[in-house]
């Protein structure tokens, strides 16, 4: 991981922010836990959320997270 970070630092011309990485990982893990809970709640009959809505919501969140995390 450190050699890859060194490669990225050289490529991007800036230092790796390990605290920001930790924060992003923590936020992603929390978001995954919430989506897991939402998916478990979908087992109720009648279902409160259709599969199409669930998966389309995840793709919107994923695209917005990617736009937020990738440096310009």
Question: The domain containing residue 35 runs over which residues?
Answer: 16-69
Q: What is the pLDDT of residue 36?
A: 85
Looking at the domain assignment, is residue 22 inside a domain?
yes
Whether 8 is in a domain gets the answer no
Name the pTM for this structure: 0.57
Residue 72: its pLDDT value, please?
41
Is there a contact between 16 and 9 (Cβ–Cβ < 8 Å)? yes
pLDDT tens digits for range 19-59: 988 998 888 888 888 888 887 887 777 776 666 676 677 66
Burial of 42 by CB count in 10 Å (0-12 exposed, 13-18 middle, 19+ buried)? middle
Counting the structural domains of the chain, the total is: 1
> Which of 66 and 23 is assigned the larger pLDDT?
23
In a domain? residue 3: no
Q: Does the pLDDT of residue 62 top 70, yes or no?
A: no
């Amino acid at each position: 991981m450190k050699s890859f970070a060194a490669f990225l630092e050289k490529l991007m011309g800036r230092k790796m922010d390990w605290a920001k990485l930790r924060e992003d990982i923590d936020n992603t893990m929390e978001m995954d836990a919430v989506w897991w809970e939402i998916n478990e709640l979908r087992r109720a009959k009648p279902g409160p959320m259709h599969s199409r809505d669930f998966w389309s919501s995840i793709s919107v969140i994923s695209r917005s997270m990617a736009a937020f995390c990738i440096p310009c």
